[in-house]
Amino acid sequence: MVQASARVFGAVLLAGALTSGRSSSAADAITSVYTNFDADKCRHKAGVEPEGYGVWRCPGYKGSPVLLSAGDQRMYVSYGQGSGGDFAASQTFPGFNDVYKGAVEWRLEKIAAGKRRPLATILRWNVMTASDVEGATGPAKATGRVLVVTRLGPGGVCHIGYVDARANPDANQLAREIADEHARSFRCGKDKRIVRGIVSPGLAMPRDPE
């Protein structure tokens, strides 16, 4: 009886070790690289609408550019060549915001022949809160900071989640979890975007249509 129990216990430990090994391997398969952009140093095309500030094309990761556009004190950020399925080019925050410069974290997954491809990006935006607007005596300054997670690749480019960077000490990790767990399966225009962690009072996150 003791020997049988020992064999069962040993099998459980072995199964747990194998499962742990697979999880660790899966996590190790996704890595990060970083690129920086500054709209003042990017190619700019002037806007044609009264509240349109134009479009900027900035260097990104291995030929995948960072595409900025702005109007009415709000910005839009997309990646790649701006082809069909580019939902991100029309996604922003309810409140005024800006992201004219920043560091993009590209989450890379392994593909065939040891190559890697970006499956998502993480970028910190400056977003105005309710108190920024209410207490302003001149031009308001955005005090909100939100990490925006954007999926890439086949299936469209779109926001999949948000993390309040000031309210959550582990904001970067939360954003990576959103990217790694949801970027591959997220359906742009169909699935609801994810807000993870605590959200500061007065900071309005984008809402999906009901």
Q: Where are the domains of the chain?
A: 2-195
128 half-sphere exposure, CB direction, 13 A CA radius: 18
Q: DSSP 3-state helix, strand, coil percentages of the chain (rounded to 5)?
A: 25, 40, 35
User: What is the per-residue pLDDT for 85?
Assistant: 77
Token pair 């207490």 in the structure block, residue: 135
Over its length of 210 residues, how does the chain's per-residue pLDDT go in tens digits? 444 444 433 443 334 433 444 344 555 589 999 999 999 999 999 988 888 899 999 999 998 999 999 999 999 999 998 766 799 999 999 999 999 999 999 999 998 888 899 999 999 999 999 999 886 666 778 999 999 999 998 889 999 999 999 999 999 999 999 999 999 999 999 999 999 999 999 999 998 876
User: What is the per-residue pLDDT for 155?
Assistant: 87
- C-alpha–C-alpha distance, residues 55 and 77, integer Å: 10
Task: Identify whether the C-beta of residue 182 lies closer than 8 Å to the C-beta of residue 160.
Answer: yes
Q: What predicted TM-score, i.e. pTM, was given to this entire model?
A: 0.85
- If you write DSSP's letter for every residue of 155-209 in order, what string do you get? T-BEEEEEEETTT-TTHHHHHHHHHHHHTTT--TTTSPPEE-S---TT-PPP---
User: What is the per-residue pLDDT for 137?
Assistant: 63
Bridge-based pairing of strands 97-98 and 116-127 is antiparallel
Give residue 93's Cα distance to chain centre.
14
